[in-house]
Amino acid sequence: MNDVLNRNNVNVVGNGAQVMLFAHGFGRDQNAWKFVTEAFTDVYKVELFDNTGSGKSDISLHNSDKYSKLDGYAQGIIEICQALNLDNVFFVGHSVSSMIGLLAAIEKPEYFSKLILLGPSPLYLNAENYNGGFAQKDLEGLFEFMENNYLGWSSAMAPAIMGNPGRPELGEFLTDSFCSTDPNAARDFARVTFFSDNRALRDQQRLPLIQFSMS
């Protein structure tokens, strides 16, 4: 059990019986939820973790083969649920972790009772009759930038992703999160995030699903 909890830097806060499991998106770690969790800890037990390769997770356990697919991250969520003997979980996933949570719930639906997805996207690439937001060549340029200058990429991309120029401290907060992630693990996570096609997942799961778009 401790191996899993240490691997993913699992932290538990809150006083309630109902568990909420928060899963961060690409380039983040569990600190992404620092402005959110206080609203829930009086009523819920909040479980926080870092995806393997992010934040204070055990980077030595990041394996590029395992994490070349989102299934590797989904397995990590399942193992956290097993280690903590969780069931009836309210899963809250941001961005790509929405898809990771769907994968985990499809494989082990008995661990979850509700999926709350923030800014989910099943595919970031533009495809026939589908606007994912990115062209293949644009993403290849993104990865070339990451390969050549990860810290520069972090500083340039974080404020743009945050999209709140009136509050530059939020861009700085995200930049710090990007910079704390191991560059190799970040590139692996970026590739599987932006090149995975998960459009079929929603039809495969049977749990109550709540989605919020991010604008």
Instruction: Note the pLDDT tens digit of each residue in 122-154.
Output: 999 999 899 998 899 988 888 888 888 877 777
SS3 state at 62: coil
Look at the chain and report how many structural domains it folds into. 1
Predicted TM-score (pTM) of this structure: 0.89
Q: State the alpha helices, DSSP H only, in the chain.
A: 2-7, 70-83, 96-107, 136-148, 150-162, 168-180, 183-195, 201-204
> What CATH number has the domain bearing residue 163?
3.40.50.1820
| Separation of alpha carbons 115 and 74, rounded Å | 14
SS3 state at 132: coil
pLDDT at 206: 85
**Average pLDDT taken over every residue of the chain:** 88
Q: What percent of the chain has pLDDT over 70?
A: 87
Residue with tokens 């704390």: 180
Reported as a single tens digit per residue, the pLDDT across 104-125 is: 999 999 999 999 999 999 999 9
| Separation of alpha carbons 28 and 51, rounded Å | 9
Range of the domain at 197: 2-212
Query: How large is the average pLDDT for residues 22-37?
Result: 91
Strands ordered across the beta sheet of 209-212? 11-14, 45-48, 19-23, 89-94, 112-118, 209-212
Radius of gyration for the chain, computed over Cα atoms and rounded to the nearest angstrom: 17
- Which of 192, 94, 93, 72 has its CA nearest to residue 139? 192
Look at 173 and 33; give whichever has higher pLDDT.
33
| 209 pLDDT tier (thresholds 50, 70, 90) | confident
Which of the residue ranges 32-46, 86-100, 108-122, 201-215 would you say has the lowest mean pLDDT? 201-215
Query: How large is the average pLDDT for residues 178-189?
Result: 81
The length of the chain in residues reads 215
pLDDT at 165: 65
SS3 state at 23: strand
